Structure 1
Amino acid sequence: MTEPAARTAEPEPAPPSPPPSSSAAEAVDERLTQASFLTRVMRRPALGALLGAVVVFILFTATDATPQHLWLSQTGLESWSQQAAFFGIMAVPVGLLMIGGEFDLSTGGMTGFTAILMALMVGNLHWNTWLAVALTFVFGICIGLLNGVIVVTSKLPSFIVTLATYFVFRGLSIGGVLKVNHGSTSIGLSAGAHPGLNSAKAVFGSSFARSATLPSGYQTAILWFIGVTVVAVWLLGRTTFGNWIFAAGGDANAARNVGVPVARTKILLFVGTSTAAALVGVISFLQSDSAVSEQGVGYEFYYIIAAVVGGCLLTGGYGSAVGAAIGACIIGMAFQGVIYSGWDSSWDFSFLGVILFLAVVVNTVVYRRATRARR
């Protein structure tokens, strides 16, 4: 007889798992933790700039020495907003470039030199104004490409490369203009017809919203400033390219490892700053019908100050387009507010220095709070 087959041993049931401890039950995934309202506000890079703008505006409101308190009138608003527009059109793309981890010190020289190009083409060569506008923008794009390609291929610091570009422009603005303009550093419109001038002025150099209290209206440069800011905010916060900007400025090597085109991103950012400089040059010439050799010299520091005041870190990887725009408004209010308050304008730079220092302190506190909140 055959032996009965051995029975297969059935697995013993697993013992019941012990009940979770109170500490484990209470543990919550930190990714699902709701940040407080204060923490969410502190994460905004533009917070320091907004607080600074409010303080500066209240300061000049309290110290306004004009007979009719014009600081709170349309006249006061037009004066500082016009100043802020010229700074802001450049400060916003400069801020994006700083977020991307680079600097452009040629922007001040570029704004002046592109205005000179416009004056030479329209005033001396009598070219169609719209052709001159188009060629000025093409020139700006080419300079941005040149700066960007040199920086990313040579690995040289961007402030060295663009500083060299700045000195080239300054030399051309003085020596070159003296040579082609018969010894004069000022170029204006000559007598005669200038095709396309009036229509170009309507777009770049006119005004809007005239009223009895403000006969001259607001300059269209303000609209360009708003437009540039809106585009930059959308680009930085709503597009993949905006993520690339933060990644390239935060850690370029890590960004390359995950497929971010760091070199292309930085080149495009340089193109953005130089194109904005061409826009400022076009607006400047069409508003005044003239250009001078020293125009724009030193303004590159104002653009960087506006971006830093707006929350952009010098180390890259953090910042805000809105903050840079608010920083430009602070500088505009500072320059015009000193005049409305009756102070000695020679103290402008000291005032800006104090604002810059305080802004850096506030932005550092905000950044550290935001960094701790992410952990």
Structure 2
Amino acid sequence: MSETTARAGLTPQQWDDQFFMEYVRDSRFKRYMGTDENSIIQLKDDLTVKPGNKVTFANVRKLNGNGVTGNQVLEGNEDELDSRSMAVTVNPLRNAVVVTDWDEQKSAIDLRNAGKTALKLWAMEKMRDGTIAAFYSINGVLYTTATESQKDAWLADNADRVLFGASVSNNSSNDHSASLANIDNTADKLSCDMISLAKRRAQLASPAIKPIRLAEDEEWFVMFANSLAFRDLSKDAAMVSANRDARARESGALSNNPLFTGGSLQWDGVIIREIPEIPFLPGVGAGGIQVGANFLVGAQAIGVAWAQRTKSTTNVRDYGFRTGVGVQEIRGIEKLLFGRGAGDTDNLVQHGVVTVYAAAVADA
């Protein structure tokens, strides 16, 4: 009697959990992911244990009342608990590779394990690109497909958390395209001063953008910068001086100094991380220069919702000659937007992001 045996390396229980952990851990954004409200990228997996296609992220604003003192009566003078919500829709994502017995016979490498590696890289890139697209998005619409009217309406609601170059006044009456056209390649390169201004915009925005807490009394913002803006910031005299003169002179200082390693930069309570895959906006700046977005972020900037964690799939056909191995997950990634109008979703603002447009002229 013939028996069917599991193919080595393809049984789901052998690599599902490992695959998921590797792919999430290797993501460029992994260190900023977490399940609590102090995370820049907040993860929720509510739907892994119940049906549905949306996961709700909640936000409770700070209390604004004065309370009472002395013998004043508290009853009737209670503060309003202003809570807001946003639903993130999830969708299936799938991919697979197929290997034939003949290809595997001819190959000097294990094609099935190579397929697993390729699928992990694909999943990582989908997560990365989805996160970047969410940062760029206009009220849930991809930036590349948003209309000028949608961009202008978004800017009107988010004027206190969008910065065009080095000056707040570069915002031309909430006209998105006209404001981009005010960015030039002299004054509006990403600089230390611009980062400090963006940080103040985050702190003074209403509602304010909350920094993340790395320790009990240590608060930080993070900026995800495109490569060309990161290049300009690295050359800013104030940044060069800070890295040369103010960084710790611990053992191995050369290997830790971003002047030599190209690693993360720090300025005024902001950690600046280069994300090479952040795309540019060609021809939209002054004189037709290229502009790029950078994202100064605090807590709850992005929401990632999982209805199904990544799992493996297999497909053996053609009498066992062709073996397919795949992955699938059901998730959604969106920039978190909470209303600040009378209704829960009125006048949506990006909760944890200051979008900073800066000159991004290509290398000569």
Whether TM-score is above 0.5 comes out as no
Q: TM-score, normalised by structure 2?
A: 0.23
Please say which structure displays the higher CA radius of gyration. Answer: 1
- Quick check: which one's strand share is greater? 2
Higher relative contact order (CA 8 A, sep 6+): 1
- Quick check: which one's helix share is greater? 1
